[in-house]
Homo-oligomer: A and B are copies of this chain.
Amino acid sequence: MAEHQLPAALPAELPRTDRTRHRRLREQGSLDRAELNAILDAGFVCHLGVVLDGVPMVVPTVYGSDGRHLYFHGSVASRSLVAAPEAMVCVTVTHVDGLVLARSVFEHGVNYRCAMVYGVPRPVTDPDEKSAGLRLLTEHATPGQWEYARRPNRKEPAATALLALSLDEASVKIRTGGPDDGDSPDAALGIWAGVLPLHSHWGEPEPDPLLPSGVQPPPQVVARSNTRAW
């Protein structure tokens, strides 16, 4: 995933709003922009929450980030955007890092990194910004493919809606480390406690059956295979 330098004009701490001030689990919350970017950079699928007729809808979709905006395709949100073009959305990116196995069932938990972003997505219509945004989205999920694969022609960008969501209102929650009952009375029970880590890995490239023989996967795909994703 792309590495972002902190944009010079953005403060390192995200603003505290009514929605991002961490009512619960305060110890895990953060408004650190570098942590936000690290979580966004590590993944490429978010869960986009919109409201349709008062009912929430949560859909997974691919995103890209440049440290100031998330970009995502508009189709998944188009029902909502048509119905309420100024409607707030919530985008959540979560990486599950392991199970926290405590001495007591009640203290069991999950290690995770989670970013939540609130805002009103802006449809990107300027052709140059749209091209740059589509490139960023592609390169975020599949680095190297924008240069390698056939890039969009003039018609293709028109067929897809691109949305930009500011990273101005966002927050982070992270849980790491072992269980919390190591100094409780349960510690005397002789029950094993610790973490069972969970990792995501890229596998071996699987060629399209329709591919002519002799076409080898490009270096960026080979380099990624059999490595850890997050």
Query: What residues make up the interface of A, taking CB atoms closer than 8 Å to B?
Result: 19, 23-24, 44-45, 47-52, 54-60, 62, 75-76, 79, 88-92, 94, 96, 98-99, 101-106, 108, 110, 112, 114, 116, 118, 134, 138, 141-142, 145-146, 148-152, 156, 160, 178-179, 182-183, 186-187, 189-212, 215-218, 221, 224-225, 229
Instruction: In the A-B complex, list the 8 residue pairs whose CB atoms are closest, starting with the nearest.
Output: A182-B210, A49-B56, A197-B203, A49-B58, A104-B150, A58-B92, A47-B47, A178-B208
Chain B residues whose CB sits within 8 angstroms of the CB of A60 once the complex forms: 92, 94, 96, 112, 114
Known: A150-B186, A218-B192. A201 touches B203 (CB 8 A): no
Q: Which of B48, B55, B98, B202 contacts A196 (CB 8 A)?
A: B202
Assembly CA distance A218 to B152 (angstroms): 53
Q: Which of B108, B187, B205 contacts A149 (CB 8 A)?
A: B108
Chain B residues whose CB sits within 8 angstroms of the CB of A56 once the complex forms: 49-51, 56, 58, 88-90
Chain B residues whose CB sits within 8 angstroms of the CB of A221 once the complex forms: 101, 192, 196
A208 in contact with B193 (CB, 8 Å): yes
A187 in contact with B205 (CB, 8 Å): no
Assembly CA distance A118 to B210 (angstroms): 39
Known: A101-B142, A101-B149, A138-B105. A59 touches B197 (CB 8 A): no
Q: Which of B24, B110, B183, B201 contacts A75 (CB 8 A)?
A: B24
Chain B residues whose CB sits within 8 angstroms of the CB of A196 once the complex forms: 202-203, 205-206, 221, 224-225
Q: Which of B96, B186, B187, B224 contacts A45 (CB 8 A)?
A: B96
In the complex, residue of chain B having the shortest beta-carbon distance to the beta carbon of A112: B60
Known: A57-B19, A192-B215. A156 touches B106 (CB 8 A): yes
A187 in contact with B210 (CB, 8 Å): yes
Known: A58-B116, A99-B142, A221-B101. A197 touches B192 (CB 8 A): no
